[in-house]
Amino acid sequence: MNKVNLKSLIPLISAITMVAGLLGMFFCFPFLWSANMADLVGAGFPFVAGSVLFGAGLISLSLTNREGKDEAQ
């Protein structure tokens, strides 16, 4: 079996995580403008979770693509 280089998969996984977070935020955004309290609570938590996913993917992508890779190791 071929060994998969994990460092080459990290940017792809980061991008997928960012897209999932962005889609989650876009799906919940219309419900945040509702006058119903159940809609606000039901959409607020997934919106925050989507923003956490997007932020985590962005941080992971920036850490894997930084310039000074040799100094950090």
| The pLDDT of residue 72 | 54
Convert the pLDDT of each residue in 31-47 to its tens digit.
889 899 988 888 889 99
Mean pLDDT for the chain?
86
Distance separating alpha carbons of residues 17 and 23, to the nearest angstrom: 10
pLDDT value at residue 40: 87
Q: Residue 2 pLDDT > 80, yes or no?
A: no
Q: Which residues does 60 contact at the CB level (< 8 Å), separation at least 6?
A: 10, 13, 14, 17
Q: Name the band, by pLDDT with cuts 50, 70 and 90, for residue 66.
A: confident
Q: For position 27, what pLDDT does the model report? A: 92
